[in-house]
Chain A
């Protein structure tokens, strides 16, 4: 549910929604949502000064709890 919600939020704000994936990982440090987007959309998801990523984090911790982490991962395959 959390990953679907984040995927939806991200797909709405990028040029390549078909390339958006979100994975929910659980490890000893807690839950992490990892966002992968088309390389050209990285700037859109992060935003100026990290502002968009911060907004995504704020919304997701609001619905998923304070311990939830949200990461944007580079996926250009190198």
Chain B
């Protein structure tokens, strides 16, 4: 490699990159914690639309991976792929924890038609980040690493330190309480802006309550759920 070592003197060269991509992409530190949540959260858009985007609290069973593999022995190839996705993701993340000298175990599972990967234990807050922004980024990279290995686009769900599981529980409570109020008052209520994963959790709860329904309104990143009375 004869690449120049000077940090700032690499001459911009016209390469195959599109003109919207600078030859040297300089990434300044995020001005705010959430940076550009719209962009970071974009992969979850299909999650909100998918029928099965339910994220269950991840089983902390230490032999989750082995269990998942055994459960799948009489299933079709789809589940084999999901198990393989989990294995690749687990290796990728475990090596990262190792390099960062972080404690943490990797739990692997298959939830519906997705691989589910969770990093549990240890001090993991800096892998979660403000409003889960670092977790979303790590999920994005893990999906790319899995796709690189399997050749198939991955929709795996990553959780760190039970962040998603807790967020899900909190939102389930919030949605249930809101549904109760709207059902008795007949008055619509708007919730705070949420990302697609969060809105999906709320929509699912509202859909299970008689007498109310929900819609989303507004544009990312300020898109929010509105809970409405039925007629």
| Closest Cβ neighbor of B89 among chain A residues | A12
A27 CB contacts on chain B under 8 angstroms:
7
A52 and B13 in contact (CB under 8 A), knowing A13-B145, A61-B29?
no
**How many A-B pairs with Cβ below 8 Å?**
135
**A68 → B minimal CB distance (Å):** 7
Choose one: B20, B126, B136; the contact of A63 (CB below 8 Å): B126
Whether the Cβ atoms of B25 and A67 lie closer than 8 Å is no
Choose one: B7, B21, B127, B141; the contact of A55 (CB below 8 Å): B141
In this complex, the interface size class of chain A, counting residues with CB under 8 Å from chain B, is: 35 or more
Interface residues of B in 37-73 (CB under 8 A from A): 39-40, 42
B172 within 8 A of A: no
Whether the Cβ atoms of A25 and B7 lie closer than 8 Å is yes
Whether the Cβ atoms of B10 and A73 lie closer than 8 Å is yes
A46 CB contacts on chain B under 8 angstroms:
17, 21, 25
Choose one: B27, B101, B148; the contact of A71 (CB below 8 Å): B27
Choose one: A4, A21, A42, A57; the contact of B27 (CB below 8 Å): A57
How far, in angstroms, from A62 to B137 measured CA to CA in the complex? 10
A75 and B29 in contact (CB under 8 A), knowing A5-B96, A9-B141, A54-B137?
no
Whether the Cβ atoms of A77 and B3 lie closer than 8 Å is yes
Interface string of B115-151 (1 = CB under 8 A from A): 0000000000011010001101110110011001100
How far, in angstroms, from A44 to B17 measured CA to CA in the complex? 11
How far, in angstroms, from A23 to B113 measured CA to CA in the complex? 39
A50 and B21 in contact (CB under 8 A), knowing A12-B148, A66-B29, A74-B10?
yes
Known: A12-B92, A36-B3, A71-B26. 16 other contacts (CB 8 A): A8-B96, A32-B7, A43-B17, A49-B20, A50-B21, A58-B134, A59-B141, A62-B129, A66-B29, A69-B27, A69-B28, A70-B27, A71-B24, A74-B12, A74-B24, A77-B3
Q: B residues near A, CB below 8 A?
A: 1-3, 5, 7, 10-13, 15-17, 20-21, 23-30, 35-36, 39-40, 42, 92, 95-96, 99-101, 126-127, 129, 133-134, 136-138, 140-141, 144-145, 148-149
Q: A residues near B, CB below 8 A?
A: 1, 4-5, 8-9, 12-15, 19, 21, 23, 25, 27, 32, 34, 36, 39, 42-44, 46, 49-59, 61-63, 66-78
